Chain A
Amino acid sequence: MEYEPVIGLEVHAQLLTKTKIFCGCSTRFGAEPNSHTCPVCLGMPGVLPVLNKKVVEYAIKMALATNCTINSSNVWARKNYFYPDLPKGYQISQYDQPLAEHGYISLELGGSTKRIGITRIHMEEDAGKLIHDEINPVSYVDYNRTGVPLIEIVSEPDMRSPEEGAEYLRRLHEILVYLEICDGNMEEGSFRCDANVSLRPKGEDIFGTRTELKNMNSFRNVQRALEYEIKRQQYVLDNGDAVVQETRLWNDSQGMTHSMRGKEEAHDYRYFPDPDLVPVVISGDWIEEIRGSLPELPLEKRERFIKKYGIPPYDAGVLTASRALADFFETVAIKSGRPKLASNWVMGDLLGHLNEDKLLMEECPIRAQALSDMIGLIENGTISGKIAKDVFEEMWRSAKDPKEIIEEKGLVQITDSSALEAVIDQVLKHNSSQLEDYRKGKDKLFGFFVGQVMKATKGKANPKIVNEILQKKLSK
């Protein structure tokens, strides 16, 4: 039978606040174990939580960027369960009155656009970290991450293939990073994803039994895990068996999902409103204030670049991959007045060098002003495109201005016709046999003469003028 996969994704994104959601401890990653803890995040007797306002602002930004309806009254709830990484024995989260609901994001899939629904976005606190001893039957608990703010973004079961799932995640990730509310680092756990997947016969409306996939820490792994799980469920169904509703862990090295078989507790979280926290009331004014501070989102930017700068959709996609890159390109495009050239240089040489040196856009040694100056120098004929490559190399190495490099190295193009005429005369004189062949009709040798002129001038001759003079001389 032909099956259709039905995929829904749950993303946990750590918010980029300086301090934790309910106390003043730092959220910085990688500190010594338990060095970012205080009575509040350790859940000591008698402590009380006070909400970090930034968390709400960041969460509202994401809600707006994903077209959600924001609930005017938000209630904090306690989710009760025991685990050593949860110091209070409950997680402060949101339950029946989450921050935002009923949103969507758009995916570009093979030339068409598809909307993926966002069921809800809510705020909550992260748990700590458990490290299991490999020899002794003990685990070590580090509460540094306890209380780091998270938003949970739950999608509708709208995705129909692993590719769609991965694309949804990339777009969601891109939005979070664009908004500068999450660093998006998947290895450090700033962006985590669980997947729900089920199969149903093609054309059927009713959902099949789903499994929940956990432990996938890259986009690629999410896609691989979904691919594996779809095949596995298909195999189960083709054999006439039923899919068991369960949580399965992705094993990266084996490339398989494994059942947690019975290791799960029957969940009875006993949610109730947290009496220690008061409701968060979000006014229309507050929402509008935050809406006003939103940056242009990737999709909007992409469309604008195509329209305004006349660059191909593919290039627009590459150039908007990050806010810093897009801003860089746009500055060069505007300052140089040559968006096409700007796009070529940024996508080609600049990105190439960044990738080679494994640098972030923010660490780029060439400033946008310098690159647009360089483009200007090509445009006004001061340097040739070929020399520009060398100038760019030097700019990358020394972070100097292009003019300075050109002057220092004497790279200014020779545009003086009489000087060039003298060089050309010399070249023709020294290559009399080739000249003879040319005159006999071997037109191809024209390029040879240009090359010789370039060689003699160390590439500094203005090719246009050289062409003109050569044409004139050879036609005599």
Chain B
Amino acid sequence: MKITKDEIAYVAHLARLDFTESEYEKFTSQLNDILLYMDILNKVDTKGLEPMSHATPLHNAFRDDVEMKSLPVEASLANAPDDNGDSFIVPKVIE
């Protein structure tokens, strides 16, 4: 499969990434090489095969509804790039 520059731009936006024009050029060609290589998978007939999303066949891992201590607010905010002492601060969502 071949990926176009427009698709790259769409995917970059989905992933919240920005690239310069030259980065776009480089990425498009590198991603195309990689995706071209991925085409090898089409040689395998996988019809009806269960996809494997876990390495081990576990199920029903539960915890009980028991309260545990939360972090002190200062600890929750300790790594925040911007905060006001009780909340994280972000630039306004564009309206």
Q: Interface residues, chain A, CB within 8 Å of chain B?
A: 17-19, 23-26, 32-39, 42, 50-54, 56, 73, 82-84, 130-133, 136-143, 263, 268, 270, 272-273, 275, 277-281
Q: 21 A-B Cβ contacts within 8 A?
A: A18-B67, A24-B63, A24-B66, A34-B87, A37-B71, A37-B73, A37-B76, A38-B69, A38-B71, A39-B71, A42-B71, A83-B93, A84-B93, A131-B87, A132-B93, A137-B91, A138-B91, A140-B89, A143-B76, A278-B61, A281-B59
Complex CA gap A133/B89 in Å reads 10
Q: A284: shortest Cβ distance to chain B, in Å?
A: 14
With both beta carbons as reference points, the residue of chain A lying nearest to B61 in the complex is identified as A278
* In the complex, residue of chain A having the shortest beta-carbon distance to the beta carbon of B90: A84
A140 to B90, CA, bound (A): 6
| Distance in angstroms between the alpha carbons of A278 and B16 in the assembled complex | 29
CB nearest to A263 among chain B residues: B95
CA distance A275 to B63 in the complex (A): 18
What 1/0 flags go to B37-67 for Cβ under 8 Å of A? 0000000000000000110001111111111
Using Cβ atoms and an 8 Å threshold, which residues of chain B touch A82? 16
Distance in angstroms between the alpha carbons of A141 and B89 in the assembled complex: 6
Candidates A42, A131, A132, A136; contact of B76 at CB < 8 Å: A42
A194 to B4, CA, bound (A): 37
Please indicate the chain B residues that have their CB under 8 angstroms from the CB of A137 in the complex.
Answer: 91-92
Q: Does B9 contact A (CB under 8 A)?
A: no
Residues of A contacting B1 with CB < 8 Å? none
Q: Which of B14, B70, B71, B87 contacts A268 (CB 8 A)?
A: B14
- Cβ-defined contact, A18 with B61, below 8 A: no
User: B87 to chain A: which residues have CB within 8 Å?
Assistant: 33-34, 131, 140-142
Given contacts A34-B87, A138-B92, A278-B58, contact A18 B66 (CB under 8 A): yes
Residue of A nearest to B62 (CB): A53
A165: min CB distance to chain B, Å: 29
Cβ of B88 < 8 Å from any Cβ of A? yes
B23 at interface, CB cutoff 8 A: no
Do A25 and B68 have beta carbons less than 8 Å apart?
yes
Closest CB in chain B relative to A33 CB, distance in Å:
4
CB pair A275–B86 under 8 Å, yes or no, is no
Residue of B nearest to A28 (CB): B67
The reply to whether A35 and B70 form a contact with Cβ atoms under 8 Å apart is yes
B20 interface hit (Cβ, 8 Å): no
Bitwise interface map of B from 1 to 21 toward A, beta carbon under 8 Å scored 1, else 0: 000000000000010100000
6 more A-B contacts (CB under 8 A) besides A52-B64, A53-B62, A130-B93? Answer: A32-B86, A73-B59, A138-B92, A140-B84, A143-B76, A281-B60
Q: Which of the residues A33, A275, A280 comes within 8 Å of B60, measured between beta carbons?
A: A280
Provide the residues of chain A in CB contact with B86, threshold 8 Å. Answer: 32-34, 142
Q: Looking at the complex, which one of A25, A51, A143, A280 makes contact with B63 (CB distance below 8 Å)?
A: A51
| Contact across chains for B77 and A34 when beta carbons are under 8 A apart | yes
CB distance from A406 to the nearest CB of B (A): 47
| Closest chain A residue, CB of each to CB of B77 | A34
CB-CB under 8 A from A56, the residues of chain B are: 62
- Bound-state CA distance A23–B67 (Å) is 8
Contacts of B66 in A (CB 8 A): 18-19, 24
4 A-B pairs closest in CB distance: A24-B68, A140-B87, A53-B62, A54-B65
Does B63 contact A139, Cβ atoms closer than 8 Å?
no
Please give, as numbers and ranges, the residues of chain B lying within 8 Å of A51 by CB-CB distance: 61-63
The complex places the Cα of A131 from the Cα of B87 at a distance, in Å, of 10
Asked if residues A52 and B92 are in contact (CB atoms below 8 Å), the reply is: no
Known: A34-B76, A35-B73. A52 touches B63 (CB 8 A): yes
Contact check, B54 vs A141: say whether CB atoms are below 8 A apart.
no
Alpha-carbon distance A407/B58, docked complex (angstroms): 69
Chain B residue at smallest Cβ distance from A149: B65
What residue of chain B has the Cβ atom nearest to residue A274's Cβ? B53
Partner of B54, one of A83, A278, A280: A278
Q: Are B65 and A38 in contact (CB under 8 A)?
A: no
**Bound CA span A140–B77, Å:** 12
Q: A39 CA to B77 CA in the complex, in Å?
A: 11
The docked-state distance in angstroms from the alpha carbon of A25 to that of B70 is 6
Give chain A residues whose Cβ lies under 8 Å from the Cβ of B88.
34, 84, 140-141, 143
Q: Which single residue of chain B is at the shortest CB-CB distance from A75?
A: B53
- Which chain B residue has the least Cβ–Cβ distance from A130? B93
Chain B residues whose CB sits within 8 angstroms of the CB of A33 once the complex forms:
73, 86-87
Question: Which residue of chain A has its CB nearest to the CB of B64?
Answer: A53
Which residues from chain A contact B58 at a C-beta distance below 8 Å?
278
Residues of B within 8 A of A17 (CB): 65
B70 touches A133 (CB 8 A): no
Which residues of the other chain, B, contact A263 by a CB distance below 8 angstroms? 95
Roughly how many angstroms separate A32 CA and B54 CA in the complex, as a whole number? 38
Bound-state Cα–Cα, A143 to B77, Å: 11
Which residues of A are found within 8 Å of B73, using beta-carbon distances? 32-35, 37
Closest to A37 in B: B76
